[in-house]
Structure 1
Amino acid sequence: MSDTEAQPVRISSEPVQLQALEPVLEKVRAAVGDVQALLTIAEDIGRTAPKPGEGNTAKLWELLASVTAVDVAAGRVLEPHLDALAIHTQAGVEEPQEGTWGVFAAEGPGMKLEAKRTADGNYVLNGSKPWCSLAAQLDGAVITAHTEDNSRAAFAVNLKDPGVSCETPQWTSRGLQEIPSGTVHFDQVAAQPVNQGSWYFQRPGFAWGGMGVAACWFGGAIAVARDYAQALTKAAANGREPDQVALAHLGEIDRIISSITGFLAQTAERIDAGELDDANADGSGVDGSSAPCPGSPSAWSEALRVRGTVAAAVERVQMLVSQNLGPGPLAFNETYGKRMADLSLYIRQHHAMRDDAQLGALALKGDRWW
């Protein structure tokens, strides 16, 4: 298992097109473990990276998957920055021209971030927000906060504001050690609304962004699969041919990757064709009816399908590879051990059966293919 390769991940592009990614992937490989260097790379990538729904969604997902295949933590740095830029574009407001950005939308028990309008018509934030990855190193963030009408809205915030204070969490996990996610406190911090009301959650881009995270997960699984194939090849070169079980598991991994690749390519094409512009997170039809006809799934139900399918695939690939390779590489191969730990933690952003329950409720209302 070599840590010297930076091979792109293909979803739908021709191999020759993917060669353009190789220089930036080499930069990522050289910056593994150096968060500031990864943030600089993310800022540079953000100047030219495609945005979802603008005709090159598959290329965006290939970029995210390819970076994550080099290093899961690098993908975890890049994805929210690109998502924040896309949110600005979708809202019709000017993108940040400099700096790196995050997206903080998590909620936590006993914590509440409130946005209140001041006498001059502007907004300020007060309260706390959990799970704010790299907040102390970022320049800005798109943050959700509770408004005075009891809804949640999105705001653009300068994280260098003196009213922002970032906790340094006790990050005991082996996974994503360079990206601790702590609580951030806000004290009269100026905030710029990103569009109006609950637009952030209702836009189709909310679903598209969730699928972008799944593309990162997929890239991590591809890297684990490559580790496995490389280990079998190396063992065979040393006189130990893979047995039937090892080959069967490699065959299953190949089937999984092939099916996910096709699913992502098809979904990206549908996004770009305008077929997934209806968020409909509540399962209602475009015309306001309570049950859309089968065959017209919403962007959100499709996001749940993509995320759930990719998450299950990642966990299956990890299990097959770890069972076959045993404890050796987990104990002695830094790149492989880091990748497995990073990916195991990253994939827990998926809500597992709770997301399936939400998808089932939507399917029951008619938000389905079949």
Structure 2
Amino acid sequence: MNATQDPGRPRAVRISSAPEDLARLQPLLEAAEAGVGDVPALLALATEAGTTTPKPGSGGTAFLWETLASVTAVDTAAGRILEPHLDAAAILAQAGTETDGPEVPCEGTWGVFAAEAPGLTLEATDTASGAGTVLSGAKPWCSIAAQLDHAVITAHLPDGGRGAFAVDLHAAGVSFADPEWSSLGLREIPSGTVHFDAVPAVPLGGAGWYYRRPGFAWGGMGVAACWLGGAVAVARSFKEGLQKAAARGREPDQLALAHLGEIDRTLTGLIHTLARTAARIDAGELSGPGAWSEALRVRGSVATAVERIQSLVSQNLGPGPLAFDARYGKRMADLALYIRQHHAMRDDAQLGALTLKGDHPW
């Protein structure tokens, strides 16, 4: 933080954009801070941001990721609400340009539900009358579904494949199970099961399109940008805590300085990686089969770094902030749950399989 910055104002996370471009984010960040804990307000903010934030691959990927990281640095839950809406907007735009299907406008609030769980299956079938496609079954891990207007949802096809569909969550036949959400992290964003009974749905591309498109990998890296923002917030609070202690006459010891140095080295390396990756996406270099390998590298590197940074800061600050600083405790709990979207060694195993086939830069 330089001397001209107000420590009380939320700050953007810079990946590669010019400072004057990042300054455009200030109203969004202040609105996100004012809306912490207010899901309807944050959903309205996401809807507004969706009209101006660039799509991945459009030449502004770094700014998109800076937007996601910066909002998450204000509040992890705010970033968790913004990211799927922007991802849905990108999916709808990609479907409109890459497929022969109907264009679906991104109106209202959107989620993206692609998770699977044992014993729960969502199936897509064409109606006997030829009137279109309907969804029947159950979809797990649908975050704040009851508060959303629409969603991009994956479903199983009769031939065994999977497709993506746009669905009106207010339609007849949609019902929401009690999430029974007991998590202390992301408490305002419960994820539960949504049931569908012959609900009309608009196909987005053909079988497998959702997973084959390069935007699938780009969206996965957008989530990693959110994780990065959360880690930056933890690091900033740690550094500022050391500065305040020093101002009171308690200089940081060698361990604290070593940990702060490791945090700086880690975050700086990740920021450089995201800057290069965003530039490659915009240059058209990550639109083929190698895009998913790169997404696995980025997501794995960021997730590992987040856990390391949380551990270092917790060791240094001890139990006090977790017990008495509500904002710090919320951030740590929210971020710990959010990064569990990364599948850790299972994702590394997937990357290893791709590496074994020769998909690596070395």
Give the shorter-chain TM-score range: over 0.9
Paired with 2:325 and 2:197, the residues of 1 have a C-alpha distance of: 45
> How far 1:143 sits from its partner (Å)?
0.3
Counterpart amino acid of residue 117 in structure 2:
G
* Paired residues of 1:139 and 1:159 also in contact (CA < 8 A): yes
Paired with 2:203 and 2:241, the residues of 1 have a C-alpha distance of: 51
1:311 aligns with 2:271: no
Structure 2 residue ranges without an equivalent (≥5): 1-5, 97-101
1:361 aligns with 2:353: yes
Paired with 1:333 and 1:83, the residues of 2 have a C-alpha distance of: 32
Counterpart amino acid of residue 264 in structure 1:
L
> Which SS does the other structure have where 1:61 is aligned?
helix
> Which SS does the other structure have where 1:136 is aligned?
helix
> Which SS does the other structure have where 1:60 is aligned?
helix
Moved more, 150-159 or 119-128: 119-128
Partner of 1:90 in structure 2?
Answer: 94
Which residue of 164, 172, 184 maps to 1:162? 172
> How far 1:169 sits from its partner (Å)?
1.4
* Paired residues of 1:3 and 1:335 also in contact (CA < 8 A): no
Paired with 1:243 and 1:97, the residues of 2 have a C-alpha distance of: 52
The 5-angstrom pairing of residues 1-370 of structure 1 reads 4-92=8-96, 94-121=103-130, 122-278=132-288, 280=289, 298-370=290-362
* Paired residues of 1:214 and 1:311 also in contact (CA < 8 A): yes
Counterpart amino acid of residue 186 in structure 1:
F
* Paired residues of 2:92 and 2:106 also in contact (CA < 8 A): no
Partner of 1:293 in structure 2?
Answer: none
> How far 1:95 sits from its partner (Å)?
4.5
Alpha-carbon RMSD across the aligned residues, in angstroms, is: 1.1
Structure 1 residue ranges without an equivalent (≥5): 281-297
Go from structure 1 to structure 2 and tell me whether the alpha carbon gap of 1:367 and 1:331 turns closer, same or farther (over 3 Å shift): same
Counterpart amino acid of residue 240 in structure 1:
R
Paired with 1:8 and 1:273, the residues of 2 have a C-alpha distance of: 25
Paired with 1:17 and 1:153, the residues of 2 have a C-alpha distance of: 37
Go from structure 1 to structure 2 and tell me whether the alpha carbon gap of 1:3 and 1:182 turns closer, same or farther (over 3 Å shift): farther
> Which SS does the other structure have where 1:368 is aligned?
coil
Paired with 1:129 and 1:47, the residues of 2 have a C-alpha distance of: 28
> Which SS does the other structure have where 2:111 is aligned?
strand
> How far 1:4 sits from its partner (Å)?
4.2
> Which SS does the other structure have where 2:147 is aligned?
coil
> Which SS does the other structure have where 2:145 is aligned?
coil
> Which SS does the other structure have where 1:13 is aligned?
coil
> How far 1:167 sits from its partner (Å)?
1.3
Counterpart amino acid of residue 13 in structure 1:
S
Question: TM-score normalised to the size of structure 1?
Answer: 0.93
Counterpart amino acid of residue 357 in structure 1:
A
* Paired residues of 1:85 and 1:95 also in contact (CA < 8 A): no
Question: TM-score normalised to the size of structure 2?
Answer: 0.95
* Paired residues of 2:32 and 2:45 also in contact (CA < 8 A): yes
> How far 1:100 sits from its partner (Å)?
0.5
> Which SS does the other structure have where 1:228 is aligned?
helix
